[in-house]
């Protein structure tokens, strides 16, 4: 029985998995808590994790009708993420594993997002390209088989969700504004204004979203109040479309470069209606399979961490006790387009 813990950002999550069956998955979101600050405050997030982690684990055990002494392996996200937030999960995992005599598995958060695709109701078999886009990360990974992956592109600055949230905020929407921006953009003309997207060369699979945010800031500053009021939906649609185009173009380019015929999405931004519609059309036109897991598996959760742990080595708790958390994720330069993930040792 695996107990999985995920606390890399602002969701406190625990899940129980037994013999490939997911018995429970509990997520306590801190979004409302951070809304008053207009974004995630790392120190506030780690303090809140401390308050929530035990009740969340209790709830996961209860839902699974399981007891702590049945747990044979504790899996925990050790990177990348907010360092204080990660440490709460790692320290909790160590304590539980030590007390139960369980083995431990360190899981990279991105590997968790990928492994969400191996869960019911519609498990996907590699090889596939996975676009992981959320408020904290934006990466394209190539998955040749279960238990391995290569990052082939990633943002050099802001995440796509962060760019959408900050754009939404400039347009007067509340945090996190990605979903509201999506709603507003539905009534707008995406061709109203061309916002520039950096790194648009098709052979460059990395993203950059900090410039587009600045460009919206200056656009709104120069535009009159009247224009902003009259064309708010058009501006929202143009801005969102630029971010989404970058995500789609690079994901399709990665599939082309690697000769891969399956694409899947993960991360909160995969809820975006324009991304889903345009990518589905593009994939259908190219005879590429597209899969989007259910929303509760796309956003941060511990079920995906349990799923990933099944394909990763377990280590004795005494060895794990020497390990910490790593905020930056542990990627190193690999081939021309690839940065291979180095497992934490
Ligand atoms: O994966 P997630 O729940 O949490 C992390 O960031 O780790 O992703 C949250 C992000 C936020 O930036 C939020 O605005 C964005 O996902 N998001 C959306 C939509 N729904 C959530 N972005 C665009 N369109 C949406 N419909
Ligand atoms: Zn995530």
Q: Are 195 and 143 in contact (CB under 8 A)?
A: no
User: What is the arithmetic mean of pLDDT over 336-340?
Assistant: 35
Cα separation of 209 and 136, whole Å?
12
| CA dist., res. 251 & res. 263, Å (int) | 8
Give the integer Cα–Cα distance in Å for 70 and 345: 27
- Beta-sheet strand order (sheet of 138-145): 289-291, 262-266, 128-133, 138-145, 148-154, 339-341, 331-333
Checking if the pLDDT of 309 tops 70, the result is yes
Nearest to 16 by CA among 297, 307, 266: 307
Ligand 1 pocket, residues with Cβ under 6 angstroms: 9, 134-136, 161, 164-165, 176, 178-179, 182, 267-269, 271-272, 299-300
Specify the pLDDT at position 267: 92
Q: What is the pLDDT of residue 341?
A: 37
Give me ligand 2 centre to Cα 173, in Å.
23
Instruction: Say whether 228 sits in a helix, a strand or coil.
Output: helix
Residue 329, pLDDT score: 62
Task: Give residue 163's pLDDT.
Answer: 97
Q: Look at ligand 1, atom 2, and give the residue with the nearest C-alpha.
A: 268
Average pLDDT, rounded, for the chain: 92
Walk me through the domains of the chain, giving residue ranges and CATH numbers.
Answer: 2-114+298-322 (3.30.420.40), 125-293 (3.30.420.40)
Ligand positioned closest to the Cα atom of 161: 1
* DSSP label at residue 147: T
Cβ atoms of residues 175 and 165 within 8 Å? yes
Quick one: which H or E segment has residue 75? strand 73-79
Q: What is the pLDDT of residues 278-295, one digit of tens each?
A: 999 999 999 999 999 999
Q: How far is CA 185 from the centre of its chain?
A: 23
Give residue 108's pLDDT: 93
Q: What is the pLDDT of residue 331?
A: 47
The Å distance, Cα 148 to ligand 2 centre, comes to 18
User: How many CB atoms are closer than 10 A to CB 338?
Assistant: 17
DSSP-assigned states of every residue in 156-174: SSS-HHHHHHHHHHHTTPP
Tens digits of per-residue pLDDT, 87-129? 999 999 999 999 999 999 999 999 999 999 999 888 999 999 9
Give me the mean pLDDT over the 32-44 stretch: 85
- Given the CA of residue 168, which atom of ligand 1 is nearest to it? 14
Looking at ligand 1, which residue's alpha carbon is closest to its atom 8? 268
Given a cut of 60, whether residue 344 has pLDDT beyond it is no
According to DSSP, the β-strands at 73-79 and 2-6 are parallel
Question: Which residues are near ligand 2, the ion (C-beta closer than 5 Å)?
Answer: 134, 300
Looking at the CA of residue 178, tell me the nearest atom of ligand 1. Answer: 14
**Distance from Cα 266 to the centre of ligand 1, integer Å:** 10
Number of H helices, E strands in the chain: 13, 12
Distance (Å, rounded) from C-alpha 7 to C-alpha 30? 11
In the DSSP assignment, the letter for residue 310 is T
Are 307 and 105 in contact by the 8 Å Cβ rule? The answer is no
pLDDT band with cut points at 50, 70 and 90 for residue 335: very low
Q: Ligand 1, atom 16: nearest CA belongs to which residue?
A: 268
**End-to-end alpha-carbon separation of the chain, Å?**
23
Query: 81, 11 in Cβ contact below 8 A?
Result: no
Percent of the chain exceeding pLDDT 70 equals 95
Which tops the pLDDT comparison, 209 or 34?
209
Burial class (CB in 10 A: 0-12, 13-18, 19+), 228: middle
């Amino acid at each position: 029985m695996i107990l999985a813990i995920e606390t890399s950002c602002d969701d406190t999550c625990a899940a129980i998995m037994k013999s490939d069956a997911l018995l429970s998955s509990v997520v306590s979101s801190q979004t409302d808590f951070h809304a008053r600050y207009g974004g995630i405050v790392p120190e506030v997030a780690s303090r809140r994790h401390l308050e929530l982690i035990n009740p969340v684990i209790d709830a996961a055990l209860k839902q699974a009708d399981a007891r702590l002494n049945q747990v044979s392996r504790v899996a925990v996200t050790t990177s990348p993420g907010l360092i204080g937030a990660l440490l709460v999960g790692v320290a909790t995992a160590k304590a539980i594993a030590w007390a139960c005599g369980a083995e431990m598995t360190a899981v990279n958060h991105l590997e968790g997002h990928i492994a969400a695709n191996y869960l019911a109701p519609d498990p996907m078999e590699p090889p596939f390209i996975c676009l992981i886009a959320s408020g904290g990360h934006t990466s394209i990974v190539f998955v040749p088989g279960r238990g391995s992956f290569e990052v082939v592109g990633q943002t050099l600055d802001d995440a796509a969700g962060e760019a959408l949230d900050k754009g939404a905020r400039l347009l007067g929407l509340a945090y996190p504004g990605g979903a509201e921006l999506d709603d507003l953009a539905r009534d707008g003309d995406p061709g109203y204004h061309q916002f520039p997207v950096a790194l648009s060369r098709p052979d460059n699979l990395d993203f950059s979203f900090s410039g587009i945010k600045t460009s919206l800031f200056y656009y709104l500053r120069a535009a009159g109040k009247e224009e902003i009021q009259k064309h708010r939906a058009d501006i929202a649609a143009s801005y969102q479309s630029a971010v989404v185009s970058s995500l789609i173009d690079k994901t399709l380019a990665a599939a082309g470069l690697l000769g891969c015929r399956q694409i899947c999405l993960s991360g909160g931004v995969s809820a975006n209606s324009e991304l889903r519609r345009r990518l589905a059309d593009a994939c259908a036109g190219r005879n590429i399979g597209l899969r989007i897991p259910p929303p509760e598996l796309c956003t941060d959760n511990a079920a995906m961490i349990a799923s990933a742990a099944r394909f990763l080595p377990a280590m004795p708790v005494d060895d794990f006790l020497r390990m910490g958390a790593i905020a930056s994720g542990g990627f190193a330069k690999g081939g021309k387009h690839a940065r291979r993930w180095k497992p934490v040792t």
